[in-house]
Amino acid sequence: MLTHKVRVFLMAGGLFLGAAMPVHGQNLSDTPSLHVDEPIRPIPLSHEVDAKKVALGDRLFHETLLSGDNTVSCATCHIIDNYGVDNQKVSAGIEGKTGTVNSPTVMNSRFNFAQFWDGRAANLQEQAKGPVTNPIEMGAVWEDVITKLQGEPEYAQAFGELYEDGITPDTITDAIQHYEYTLNTVNSPFDQYLRGNDDAISDQQKRGYSLFKEFGCVACHQGINVGGNMYQRMGAFIPYFNTENTNSKDDLGRYNVTKNERDLHVFKVPSLRVAAHTAPYFHDGSVATLEEAINIMARYQLGHDITLQENKDIQAFIQSLSGAYIKAAE
């Protein structure tokens, strides 16, 4: 079995590969920060990757053979060059069928403590299995997918080199998971600020961050991914859902997974890392603009009716969270 571990160094404006110790590659060590007391942490600038598995996962992520009619791939809904989203309220899958939940970004998804809005997948590999057999997403049968991939010499060779079990649902999704490990947006202006460059963000963005903390947004949107590390009820301060606007089973949130009344309308807190680019918002894609999303969050989650200027300042701060995605070399 061949292995190829490298350390990826993600610096401002470039990517460099160097020899690395043969570690698994799932854990990212944090990087030093001069603002050590802040509730938000910068995305680490380097991490271990298995370059061959990443390359295989990259191809599989964009592979339409994973769908029932060979027309859609993971990248159909999660467009990597568009911050990992398609900017649709709900995405279209096989035969143009549409779902009922907004497709979240895959960028920085490795930092989420669970996957999907309701947290039903514990990790990225488990998440990757769901869409392949979902009848309105990729609509495939695993046995057929495996047969199609085995018929492609390059896939047969790559899986034979990297996995003792060859092509299986587990090895397919493991490779996709390794690729998704690399979908990180690094060195954002705000991360540069956290690392000590006070001039990396504007005065307006600094005001926005102060308001973000003052109003309490940071109670849920914190850590490396500025979210993605806890569950929270939609309408924590003022009830958001009622009999008039609870229109689907998806509005029940994590309750669908646990069947616990305490989880009614509870969702995984989304990351804000690239939120400036991933409209529309919320689990149902019902909110078209970042301005509206901020107003709703301020009112229903925090009990604040904020001014237009405060909203603009918070928007500016959120824009400073977006870093650059640099594709790992193969």
How many Å apart are CA 266 and CA 240, to the nearest integer?
Answer: 11
Q: Is 137 one of the annotated active-site residues of the chain?
A: yes
220 Cβ contact partners less than 8 Å away, ≥ 6 residues apart: 227, 230, 232, 269, 301
Could you write out the three-class secondary structure of 101-120? CCCCCCCCHHHCCCECCCCC
- What type of residue sits at position 185? T
CA 99 to mean position of chain CA atoms: 18
β pairing state of 185-186 and 324-325: antiparallel
Cβ atoms of 149 and 155 within 8 Å: the answer is yes
Write out the two tokens for 213.
Answer: 């903390």
Token pair 């300042």 in the structure block, residue: 313
Is residue 38 exposed (0-12), middle (13-18) or buried (19+ Cβ within 10 Å)? Answer: middle
Active-site pick, 48, 63, 137, 310: 137
**What DSSP string describes 198-241?**
TTSS-HHHHHHHHHHHHHTGGGTS-BTTTS-S-EEETTSSS---
How many Å apart are CA 247 and CA 258, to the nearest integer?
Answer: 20
Question: Which of 329, 317, 330 minimizes the C-alpha distance to 40?
Answer: 317
Q: How far is CA 73 from CA 59, 60, 149, 192, in A?
A: 10, 8, 14, 35
Mapped onto helix, strand or coil, the DSSP state of residue 314 is helix
Q: Which residues are annotated as catalytic?
A: 137
